[in-house]
């Protein structure tokens, strides 16, 4: 490849996911915030594996990969800019802890981390901000979702909860 050569294709394949819109609409119609409900207690029923004074770590009910975590402020808040400084620091310390847990428990080759802000930004739950932390391994994307419209996740939520709750049970709270 020569310097200045365009590496981006002129055309790209697009993966259409009409089922995602159905999922988002269903969540919006539900009464109450699923994340606020998860703040009640650290337990498998809430998928919450860890809680601090201002934030929590929750398993994603619809994971992209095993170990897919959500790091969420306890206060119902739709935007990072609305957090107090104390909440902000606590949330980001908890985010680092989630990454450490995934590194130790799952030993991934890498991670994806990010958030979608607002409904237009793609947030499925737009009024309660949250980070996604997704462990990744070489070859973890396969053809199955394309031909069978199904994502293969190699462990159940119960197994993920057990693996990670063991790590967090030995971790002191902020």
- Residues identified as active-site: 130
* DSSP three-state, residue 70: strand
Give yes or no for a contact between 154 and 127, defined as CB atoms under 8 angstroms apart.
no
Give yes or no for a contact between 16 and 54, defined as CB atoms under 8 angstroms apart.
no
Alpha helices in the chain (DSSP H): 18-29, 34-38, 85-106, 144-148, 157-169
CA atoms within 13 A on the CB side of 56: 23
Q: Between vectors from CA 144 to CA 158 and to CA 155, what angle results, nearest 5°?
A: 15
């Amino acid at each position: 490849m020569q310097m200045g050569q365009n590496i981006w294709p002129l055309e790209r394949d697009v993966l259409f996911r009409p089922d995602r819109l159905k999922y988002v609409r269903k969540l919006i119609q539900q009464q109450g915030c699923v994340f606020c409900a998860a703040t009640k207690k650290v337990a498998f029923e809430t998928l919450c594996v860890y809680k601090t004074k201002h934030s929590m770590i929750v398993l994603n009910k619809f994971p992209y990969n095993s170990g897919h975590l959500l790091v969420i402020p306890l206060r119902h808040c739709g935007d990072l800019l609305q957090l107090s400084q104390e909440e902000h620091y606590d949330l980001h310390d908890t985010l680092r802890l989630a990454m450490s847990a995934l590194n130790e428990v799952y030993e991934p080759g890498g991670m994806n981390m990010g958030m979608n802000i607002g409904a237009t930004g793609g947030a499925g739950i737009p009024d309660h901000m949250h980070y996604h932390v997704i462990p990744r391994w070489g070859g973890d994307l396969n053809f199955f979702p394309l031909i069978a419209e199904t994502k293969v996740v190699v462990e159940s939520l119960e197994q993920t909860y057990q693996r990670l709750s063991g790590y967090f049970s030995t971790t002191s709270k902020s």
